[in-house]
Amino acid sequence: MQSDLKRIVSKLHSGMRIAVPVDYAGVSMALTRPMIEAGLRDLDLVCVPTGGLQVDMLVGAGCVRSVETSAVSLGEAGGAPRFNAAVKEGSIKVIDATCPAVHAGLIAAQKGSPFLPLRGLIGTDVLANRPDWKVIDNPLSDQKDPVVLIPAIHPDVAIFHAPMADRHGNVWIGRRRELAPMAYAARETYVTVDRIVEGNLLADEMTGAGVLPALYVSAVAEAPKGAWPYGLWGEYPADVDELKRYAAAARTQEGFDAYMSETAQQGEPA
Amino acid sequence: MQSDLKRIVSKLHSGMRIAVPVDYAGVSMALTRPMIEAGLRDLDLVCVPTGGLQVDMLVGAGCVRSVETSAVSLGEAGGAPRFNAAVKEGSIKVIDATCPAVHAGLIAAQKGSPFLPLRGLIGTDVLANRPDWKVIDNPLSDQKDPVVLIPAIHPDVAIFHAPMADRHGNVWIGRRRELAPMAYAARETYVTVDRIVEGNLLADEMTGAGVLPALYVSAVAEAPKGAWPYGLWGEYPADVDELKRYAAAARTQEGFDAYMSETAQQGEPA
Amino acid sequence: MSNVLPREILITTIARLLEGVRHVAVGASSPMPAAGAMLRRALDENERTVRLSILGSVEHNFFTNGSCELFDSAGQGRIDAFFLGGGQIDGQANVNLVGVGDYPQVKVRWPGSFGSAYLYFVVPKVILFREEHTPRVMVEKVDFVSAPGVSDPEVYRPGGPVALLTGKGLFSFDKTRPGFTLESTHEGESLASIREATGFAFEHADSVPETPAPDAATLELLRTRVLDELEETYPAFAADWRRDLAALSVPA
Amino acid sequence: MSNVLPREILITTIARLLEGVRHVAVGASSPMPAAGAMLRRALDENERTVRLSILGSVEHNFFTNGSCELFDSAGQGRIDAFFLGGGQIDGQANVNLVGVGDYPQVKVRWPGSFGSAYLYFVVPKVILFREEHTPRVMVEKVDFVSAPGVSDPEVYRPGGPVALLTGKGLFSFDKTRPGFTLESTHEGESLASIREATGFAFEHADSVPETPAPDAATLELLRTRVLDELEETYPAFAADWRRDLAALSVPA
């Protein structure tokens, strides 16, 4: 199991652009520490569409070059301390987005299209700070009708956690459909799951309806409760106390370092 | 049950733009004859992305003004006789598309975007005959890079058949996800189902994963085996003999009229 | 002393602002907007279906297409009302969710713009809701525009702000001017106290009324059905409310 | 007389054309392309995974996002090979799936272009496959271009035609010229017979070889494993094939 996680991490390299999901959609916390231990550097993270603990830890551990995101926070546990500090220091580049723009970029990649148009945005400082986004006049309108084009987002890798997968590599993502465009858009997709099940999840219409097919999945590793301290929809709730404990500790870099080394041997919770 | 179908048909009007699914995705054959009996005229059909028996019957019965589609056929049973005859006579307008363009138009509407760009198409006579599609030079590219813009498709109504719905109006569409963009894009969506189930399909992660939520569903009517003679995924196969019987009869308008009146009293099959 | 809690006046005001809506979406940690929407639903029960989508809630989640579905359905015109907060809100209803100081190396960094840069444009009734009403929140001009209050006429914008509700009062927004008008002050506040707490100029009538409290029937609905419904998703908030209600009933 | 059936030579040829692919998509009623892909998968078993998606099949369907997923995954570069037929195919590899005569009121109407106007551009190896090889199919110029054989250099086109396989022979396609080259003639055919059946000009070597039959090991694989696999999705085609095999084994 740990070796499966290490095998996945061995496929990751410094400088990669990595897409990770929103806190409630299935964050592969199980891969976070192995990524840090592997000494990855200069990662460009794409939060789909917002980030949390995983992003904050990777930033705190010095793995991150840039974060494209619509927000980073620890939710109920407050702001993301290492992320916020790094932004203020200018030690990472933050590329502010808005949620539907992240989705639009991934769906453009899903469709093999160069961009997707998105309403809104005009007049915002979000747009003003995105030289990669472009305002054009809607070519299908007779009237002046400015609209923003969001270029396709092609991550090198997508990483997430899900309840289950089968041995064929089919992953059950249920109604968390945003995980599918992440995988469609990425070159490689690595998934941790609470459990590996027998049989073929595609063989049945009911389970098949919630499956990301193996076609898009590079590797799966079993990691029970691998979203902890985040929760996993339909499986277990977030461990808010642990999130708060992290939030308090990580207010300083020293506190963060201490938290990370104290919890290093801890592994998954009982 | 028949009254539920009639209630749905009473919401449809001549001149409406109606989206219908591909033959294997869940065609509401149960609504076809009530639509014909209601005397609807000048319908603009949008096939998602191709059409078959339902389209051919509506054309044969004189209900249709135009068909936007990537293809119309009866599959194994051959060409679509009334559609083909109407195209040759010029009595309907055929708006030829290509499958991903129909999807692109619906997804643009799903996203509230004015258009979606689509690769391919350049140099085809499909494009040459679509004044509503527009080639632009990709504004995000430094080089000349022509790309086609497909405008959003906003049907007045989407109609399809699914295995089940609950009493809240949630419809289980399983992995036939194209039914969701049809409903997202349409102003109203009417669904027939093989069965109404107790409980709430959204309450469980497993069933919820395959649900089109009631938010997008205007009305549901129970119509057991309502896709017949088409099949329904996971439920029953297509009745190819019946499709062939129709195909043979409908070679002429007289044969079509005879088939329709012979089978009028038949209702659903045993 | 009133026998109505300040939060009950806020919730009732929210419900009033939601009059006529069919589908309200509420952020994950927004108990008062959720309570306002639940009250609206209860009040309208026999007239229309009011849907309430609470992001991140299992019970109140009508979505099955991942986190993009909220934005898609807003783009389709299926969401009538939404709430926005903001670290800073200015007199033109610009909202800042990003930070204080010079972007990108801001002095104070907040989480980020979330979906505001889109939803503010497409949801017909956006209600600005922020309890803290101080000059550092209600500013003359935001440091970063996550979402602008108004747009040029050629910009596609079926949506936008209709009101600003704070812990001190209720403003309406006039996009033609553009600017806020103080509609009412909450119990204990005055035009003067609000002017002092507000960094932007606003209009007002010569005499500004007090924000109305709920009538008895509404208050009853609020303290029974709405409070019970709210408890499922926001147990901590509901417990606080119950505690405050218990304190109210102790004779003064 | 050969002890190899004509369809077995076609299937073997398809498998050869699919060398090196990882994911082949096949239309719903395309038993021979499916068999060719199954043979390729069997031949490559120890070297690589060859995926076969058969549209409309439950057993061979890796898709869960509706009918747009084929096009999406092709656009992502995840589909290496696809087959196209055509009511008309011309010497520039243009394909017509719409009809004969002046569009739109054609004399003969076929179903329509399906996804060809997109897939022909983005799938790296498109194999044109049409058993009927007559002047009415293999035309000088198609009446309607559902999908063009070649595109101007500025057009995004990672994909396109690589070969044309018919009941009479195999052509390769050179997009720089552009045009077809006759690579081999099937048993019983000749350059002359093919020229007579073909409405467009094509290149050829001085001496055109015969399309090779499968070797014994391949033939064995074809008649056991591939035939068994095929039976699930194409029972009628498999039954025909078995009947013809039984007839073959009757001594002449």
Q: What is the pLDDT of residues B119-148, one digit of tens each?
A: 999 999 999 999 999 999 999 999 999 999
d(Cα A62, Cα A65) in Å, to the nearest integer? 8
- CA A213 → CA A170, B153, D55, D56, distances in Å? 5, 29, 15, 16
Decide if A202 contacts A211 (C-beta within 8 A): yes
Residues of D in contact with B116 (CB under 8 A): none
Same domain, A210 and A141: no
Same domain, A60 and A168: yes
Positive/negative CA dihedral, A235, A241, A245, A251: positive
Same domain, B212 and B133: no
How would you classify residue D134: left for phi > 0, otherwise alpha for psi between -120 and 50, otherwise beta? beta
Same domain, B179 and B207: yes
Same domain, A130 and A174: no
- Within-domain flag for B110: no
- Strand-pair partners of B134: B149
Report the number of distinct structural domains present in chain A: 2
Neighbouring CB atoms inside 10 A of B76's CB total: 13
- Within-domain flag for A104: no
Tokens linked to B75: 């599959």
Q: Which residues contact C130 (CB under 8 A, 6 or more apart)?
A: C85, C86, C89, C137, C164, C165, C166
Long-range contacts of D28-31 (CB under 8 A, 24+ apart): D28/B75, D28/D54, D28/D55, D28/D56, D28/D57, D29/B75, D29/B76, D30/D54, D30/D83, D30/D129, D31/D230, D31/D233, D31/D234, D31/D237, D31/D238
Same domain, A144 and A58: no
CB contact under 8 A, A206 and B174: yes
d(Cα D57, Cα D229) in Å, to the nearest integer? 13
Q: Do chains C and D meet with 3 or more Cβ pairs nearer than 8 Å?
A: no
Neighbouring CB atoms inside 10 A of A114's CB total: 19
Same domain, B22 and B126: no
Tokens 């992305």 belong to residue: B49
- Within-domain flag for A102: no
CB contact under 8 A, C73 and B211: no
Convert the pLDDT of each residue in C193-224 to its tens digit: 999 999 999 999 999 999 999 999 999 999 99
Same domain, A185 and A242: yes
> How far does the CA of residue D95 sit from the closest CA of chain B (Å)?
10
Nearest Cα residue to B71 out of D92, D29, D132, D93: D29
User: Between residues 170 and 189 of chain A, which touch chain D (CB distance below 8 Å)?
Assistant: 180, 184-185
- pLDDT above 70 coverage of chain D, percent: 97
d(Cα A127, Cα A125) in Å, to the nearest integer? 5
Task: Kindly state the average pLDDT of the residues D110-139.
Answer: 98
DSSP readout, B223-234?
-TTTTTTS-BTT
- Whether domain D85-205 has CATH 3.40.1080.10: yes
Convert the pLDDT of each residue in C53-98 to its tens digit: 887 676 677 899 998 999 999 999 999 999 999 999 999 999 999 9
CB contact under 8 A, B99 and D152: no
User: Between residues 78 and 137 of chain B, which touch chain D (CB distance below 8 Å)?
Assistant: 79-80, 83-84, 87-90, 93-94, 96-101, 103, 107, 118-129
A270 pLDDT higher than 50: no
The string over B155-166, giving b where at least 16 C-beta atoms fall within 10 Å of a residue's C-beta and e elsewhere, is bbbbbbbbbbbb
Residues of B in contact with C76 (CB under 8 A): 109-110, 112, 184-185
d(Cα A34, Cα A1) in Å, to the nearest integer? 12
Residue B225 phi/psi, 5° resolution?
55, 35
Convert the pLDDT of each residue in A136-178 to its tens digit: 999 999 999 999 999 999 999 999 999 999 999 999 999 999 9
CB contact under 8 A, D118 and B98: yes
CATH code of the domain containing B223: 3.40.1080.10
Q: Do chains C and A meet with 3 or more Cβ pairs nearer than 8 Å?
A: yes
Nearest CA in chain B to A135: B139
pLDDT recorded at residue D55: 78
Tokens linked to C130: 């922020």
- Within-domain flag for B234: yes
- Within-domain flag for A145: yes
ipTM of the complex: 0.96
Q: So where are chain C's domains?
A: 1-79+215-252, 85-205
pLDDT recorded at residue B267: 53
D1 pLDDT higher than 80: no
- Within-domain flag for B269: no
Tokens 């005001």 belong to residue: C13
Neighbouring CB atoms inside 10 A of B270's CB total: 5
Convert the pLDDT of each residue in A93-143 to its tens digit: 999 999 999 999 999 999 999 999 999 999 999 999 999 999 999 999 999
Going by pLDDT thresholds of 50, 70 and 90, the confidence category of residue A263 is confident
Decide if C131 contacts C166 (C-beta within 8 A): yes
Q: Which residues contact D82 (CB under 8 A, 6 or more apart)?
A: D24, D25, D26, D74, D119, D123, D125, D126, D127
Nearest CA in chain A to D78: A215
Decide if A30 contacts A223 (C-beta within 8 A): yes
CB contact under 8 A, C72 and B184: yes
pLDDT recorded at residue D251: 61
Mutate to test the interface with B, among D73, D109, D142 (most CBs of B within 10 A): D109
- CA B235 → CA B30, B84, B204, B243, distances in Å? 16, 30, 21, 18
One-letter-per-residue 3-state SS of D144-187: CCCECCCCCCCCCCCCCEEEEEECCEEEEEECCCCEEEEEEECC
| Domain coverage including residue B127 | 116-151
Same domain, B120 and B174: no
- Within-domain flag for B107: no
Same domain, A187 and A207: yes
CB contact under 8 A, B175 and A205: yes
> How far does the CA of residue C136 sit from the closest CA of chain A (Å)?
19
d(Cα D78, Cα D62) in Å, to the nearest integer? 12
Q: Where do the DSSP E strands lie in D12-87?
A: 23-26, 51-54, 81-84
CB contact under 8 A, B104 and A119: no
One-letter-per-residue 3-state SS of C75-100: HCCCCCEEEECCCEEECCCCEECCEE
Tokens 């467009």 belong to residue: D200
Decide if D146 contacts D97 (C-beta within 8 A): yes
pLDDT recorded at residue C30: 87
d(Cα B171, Cα B214) in Å, to the nearest integer? 7
Burial of A78 (0-12, 13-18, 19+ CB in 10 A): middle
Mutate to test the interface with A, among C63, C65, C68 (most CBs of A within 10 A): C68
Residues of B in contact with D72 (CB under 8 A): 100
Angle between helix axes A2-9 and A29-37 (nearest 10 degrees) is: 60
Same domain, B75 and B90: yes
A246 pLDDT higher than 50: yes
Same domain, B53 and B187: yes
- Within-domain flag for A31: yes
